[in-house]
Amino acid sequence: MLKIFIDPGHGGKDTGALGNGLQEKDLTLSIALEMRRILQNEYESVSVQLSRTSDIAVPLSERAAKANRWGADVYVSIHVNAGGGTGYEDYIYEGLSDRSTTARIRDIIHEEVIRATGFRDRGKKKANFYVLRETVMPAVLTENGFIDRKEDAEKLKDPAFLQKIARGHVNGLEKAFHLTKKSDSNDLIRVIVDGKQIGVYEEKENVLKQVEYYLGKANKIELERVKR
């Protein structure tokens, strides 16, 4: 069982960066929750913990300690940048070699996030950040766009784009750790009512909502599995 610890930066009174009507703490939580959803729904033998699942303040020391106590295999800290730039960058601890396991994991996540989002590539960097220094497992900190850059902020306001960021991170984890997808995790479900397609859905909950809505109203309800 692979243990993945996801750390959405900031929270509570610590808003993180601000810009264009956005708060970093909200964006990082949205991305982290979507990463958890994807990992739990689509992959086998994966356990996920988050440093926070709501808008609360969590000290850096507690974030690192929680991951260490749990025995996480990898630590991913999610952030959004500020300062007028644009694009994506990520960090590992400054004391690590470019040939380390952590660097290898970072390199894979880096490429997958760039591919998924189309962000400008700002490079792979190192720093003495607390959560990178004090965690005992491979740890990567990602900076996903600039909240104070209009072009980036417009993307970050779109829930679908935040899902792309999350998907890029998960794709990186899949490749880095050779995760196995559940047999039907890639399939979509087509709902057909009285011979007419109502919609195609990824989430089973949405399929059930449609079935419940049309029960008693339609003569025939059909479900078809659709390959992506």
pLDDT of amino acid 204: 78
Q: Using CA atoms, how far apart are residues 108 and 174, in angstroms rounded to an integer?
A: 9
Q: Annotated catalytic sites, by residue?
A: 143
pLDDT block averages, 10 residues each, the chain of length 228 = 98 97 98 96 95 98 98 98 96 97 98 97 98 98 98 96 97 97 76 90 84 86 80
Phi, then psi, of 179 in degrees rounded to 5: -70, 150
Q: Using CA atoms, how far apart are residues 126 and 81, in angstroms rounded to an integer?
A: 15
How would CATH label the architecture of 2-177?
3-Layer(aba) Sandwich (3.40)
Q: Say what the pTM is.
A: 0.82
Domain extent listing, the chain: 2-177, 188-226
Residue type, 125: K
Q: Using CA atoms, how far apart are residues 5 and 116, in angstroms rounded to an integer?
A: 21
Residue 67 DSSP symbol = H
Q: Using CA atoms, how far apart are residues 188 and 203, in angstroms rounded to an integer?
A: 8
